[in-house]
């Protein structure tokens, strides 16, 4: 591993996140904004009522990418794959994504982590299983709902780990209690403001949240879930990932379609290892 790759990887493993700047050009950002707005316009009122704190949680699966060539192009973007390669992740796999769009004057997103592999020993090591890649489609600041993270919380126990229930609760998604501790300032937190075209990559089990959107403009982020080092995960972990993502991917790319560029990112496991049961709550090995 060369010095540049080693430095980036070490920073990522230590802090639990890393920012890559200027990956998407303005034309791609504009097209993604238009597509996201169109998809959001198709959602019913109940969807937004159930996701007050995030704004929306629209699933981006393989079928949606087959419907929209732009999404396939985005998922397999050369600049993104090159950035992952800089980290030493040369064969990443794609799971699914979400369109998460905070409307104007909406509440903060609560503290949480998205780790669901806590019964897997790999979750207590520097080896990433699942990582989020977040692409904000406008510049973000604390005023319009930028990301907040607690560096190192993917490997070190924080007070929040013993207070949060694990899987996100419907009550917090609906912001039933704005005085809930999960919406407050947390020890060690920092802001991660980004420019449109940047992306932040983080471990799935990194504690993170977002500020309220106090502006008059919608703030949209495309959160894409990748398995950056799938081939080097233990066999039982690969079996688990394959099972958990089986519902988000189509079985076959349409013949002759532009979406064939996604094929190298397809999760494939053909062994007979027993998957590990999904677990959202960290165990005692997180110290």
> Is residue 225 in some structural domain?
yes
> Is residue 257 in some structural domain?
yes
> Is residue 2 in some structural domain?
no
Q: Give the model's pLDDT for residue 248.
A: 82
> Is residue 175 in some structural domain?
yes
Domain around 94: 11-265
What SS3 class is residue 231? Answer: helix
d(C-alpha 162, C-alpha 166), whole Å:
9
Q: Give the model's pLDDT for residue 161.
A: 96
> Is residue 83 in some structural domain?
yes
Q: Give the model's pLDDT for residue 150.
A: 98
> Is residue 20 in some structural domain?
yes
When divided into structural domains, the chain yields a total of: 1
Q: For residues 55, 220, 84 and 126, what is the CA-based torsion angle, rounded to 10 degrees?
A: -30
In this prediction the pTM is: 0.94
Q: Give the model's pLDDT for residue 37.
A: 98
Residue with tokens 């972990």: 237
Q: Give the model's pLDDT for residue 256.
A: 66
> Is residue 89 in some structural domain?
yes
Which residues, other chains included, contact 29 with Cβ-Cβ below 8 Å and sequence gap of 6+? 137, 196, 197
Q: Using H for helix, E for strand and C for coil, what is the string for 6-28?
A: HHHHHHHHHHCEEEECCCCCHHH
Q: Give the model's pLDDT for residue 259.
A: 79
At 74, which helix (H) or strand (E)?
helix 69-75
Q: Give the model's pLDDT for residue 92.
A: 98
CATH code: domain of residue 91 = 2.60.120.620
Which residues, other chains included, contact 109 with Cβ-Cβ below 8 Å and sequence gap of 6+? 53, 54, 102, 145, 209, 210
Give the burial class of 231: count Cβ atoms within 10 A of its Cβ; 0-12 exposed, 13-18 middle, 19 or more buried. exposed
Averaged over successive runs of 10 residues, the pLDDT of the chain (287 residues) comes to: 71 97 97 98 96 96 93 96 96 98 96 96 98 98 98 97 82 79 95 98 98 97 98 98 89 72 94 96 95
d(C-alpha 84, C-alpha 159), whole Å:
31
Structure token pair of residue 84: 């992952």
> Is residue 158 in some structural domain?
yes
């Amino acid at each position: 591993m060369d010095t540049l790759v080693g430095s980036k990887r070490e920073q990522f493993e230590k802090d639990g996140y890393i920012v890559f700047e200027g990956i998407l050009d303005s034309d791609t950002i504009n097209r993604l904004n238009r597509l996201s707005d169109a998809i959001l316009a198709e959602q019913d009122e109940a969807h937004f009522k159930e996701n007050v704190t995030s704004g929306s949680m629209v699933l981006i699966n393989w079928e949606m990418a087959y419907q929209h060539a732009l999404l396939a192009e985005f998922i397999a973007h050369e600049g993104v794959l090159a950035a992952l390669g800089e980290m030493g992740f040369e064969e990443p796999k794609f799971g699914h994504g979400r369109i998460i769009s905070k409307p104007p004057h909406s509440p903060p997103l609560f503290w949480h982590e998205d780790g669901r592999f806590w019964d897997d020993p790999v979750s207590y090591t520097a080896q990433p299983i699942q990582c989020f890649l977040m692409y904000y489609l406008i510049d973000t600041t604390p005023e319009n709902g930028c990301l907040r993270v607690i560096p190192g919380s993917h490997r070190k126990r924080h007070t929040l780990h013993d207070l949060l229930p694990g899987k996100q609760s419907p009550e917090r998604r609906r912001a039933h209690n704005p005085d809930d501790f999960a919406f407050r300032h947390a020890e060690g937190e920092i802001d991660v403001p980004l420019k449109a075209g940047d992306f932040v990559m983080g471990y799935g089990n990194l504690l993170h949240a977002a500020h309220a959107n106090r502006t008059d403009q919608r703030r949209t982020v495309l959160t894409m879930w990748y398995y950056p080092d799938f081939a080097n995960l233990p066999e039982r972990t690969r079996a688990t990932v394959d099972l958990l993502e089986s519902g988000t991917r189509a079985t076959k790319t349409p013949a002759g379609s532009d979406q064939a560029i996604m094929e190298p990112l397809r999760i494939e496991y053909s062994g007979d290892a027993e998957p590990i049961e999904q677990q959202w709550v960290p165990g005692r090995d997180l110290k």
